[in-house]
Amino acid sequence: MNRTVLITGASVGIGKEIAKLFAEDGSNLVLVARNKAKLEAIAKEWKNKYEIKVEPIVVDLSKPGSAKSLYSTLAKKKIKVDVLVNNAGFGVNGEFAQNEYSLESEMVHLNIVALAELSHLLLPGILKSEVKVKGILNVASTAAFQPGPYMSNYYASKAYVLSLSEGLHYELKSHNVHVTCLCPGPTKTEFFDRADMNDNNLLKNEFLLASAEFVAQEGYDSFEKNKAIAIPGFLNSLLAQTPRITPRFLVRRIAALMNKG
């Protein structure tokens, strides 16, 4: 039985690469993003290349009511989802008090509210699914393990994703439902463009930037094995653990230096 995988933020970056890996294993896809042209181009190419069903759905999940709208669309199309990949998300750089709150609010809605709502809406169907490997793959960040001055709200949103994922991993393991939280470090994607961070210090050192393909493979493999947390790369794994043993004032200072650029 071919499973059906829904991926949010599937038109570019990590989301697109994760979707490609599921396509390669024969899974049918539901690709969700804002960019209609990119989604339709990917769907057309992958239908022929992988001989699978690919359903592109254009939704802006940063808007209130978007998750329910997507769920209604799935019901109308009679699409049953076996795996949910919550990849869509973005960051806002700068001082929280100075940033436009409308943008901060959209980020929280996308990174937290839409992720939780989609998970809650689709889990009953996932629990009933008869495929061998089913569940939820959430994409967070190594930012989830620490506070992040000058991206305070973004770091907090990813901490929520990590905590929710770990809780669901434990709740659902007895139901044979996989839940994995992928926590990549800095990755070569459009993230820095959208966060207006193209002058960030991280971008000046190619050694610190992982490829979207590498991150996606780590997430896919970890989900199949039902690992609770996946941190791509040894250095990122090490850095994610250092806040536990480093004085908090120093953790805050280092993050601030990285984010201010």
Query: What would the pLDDT profile of 79-100 be if each residue is shown by its tens digit?
Result: 999 999 999 999 999 999 999 9
Q: Is the pLDDT reported for residue 151 higher than 60? A: yes
**Angular region, 168: left φ>0, alpha ψ -120 to 50, beta rest:** alpha
pLDDT of residue 198: 53
Residue 103 has phi, psi (to 5 degrees) of: -70, -40
Directed axis angle between helix 101-108 and helix 152-172, to 10°?
Answer: 10
CATH number at residue 227: 3.40.50.720
Chain Cα centroid distance, residue 26? 21
Distance of alpha carbon 91 from alpha carbon 125, whole angstroms: 31
Query: What would the pLDDT profile of 127-146 be if each residue is shown by its tens digit?
Result: 999 999 999 999 999 999 99
Q: Give the DSSP H/E element, type plus range, for residue 8.
A: strand 4-8
CB atoms within 10 A of CB 134: 23
* Total tally of structural domains belonging to the chain: 1
Confidence tier at 257 by pLDDT (50, 70, 90) = confident
Domain that includes residue 172, residue range: 4-260
Confidence tier at 1 by pLDDT (50, 70, 90) = confident
Task: Give the residue-averaged pLDDT of 225-246.
Answer: 85
Confidence tier at 205 by pLDDT (50, 70, 90) = low
Distance of alpha carbon 84 from alpha carbon 72, whole angstroms: 16
- Identify which of 141, 185, 129, 138 has the alpha carbon closest to the alpha carbon of residue 164: 138
- Cβ atoms of 230 and 222 closer than 8 Å: yes
pLDDT of residue 250: 77
pLDDT of residue 173: 96
Distance of alpha carbon 156 from alpha carbon 239, whole angstroms: 17
Task: Give the residue-averaged pLDDT of 173-198.
Answer: 78
Distance of alpha carbon 139 from alpha carbon 161, whole angstroms: 8
Average pLDDT over the chain reads: 91
pLDDT of residue 235: 80
pLDDT of residue 195: 47
Rounded percentage of the chain residues whose pLDDT exceeds 90: 78
Distance of alpha carbon 181 from alpha carbon 158, whole angstroms: 10
Q: Is the pLDDT reported for residue 231 higher than 70? A: yes
Q: Is the pLDDT reported for residue 27 higher than 80? A: yes
pLDDT of residue 98: 95
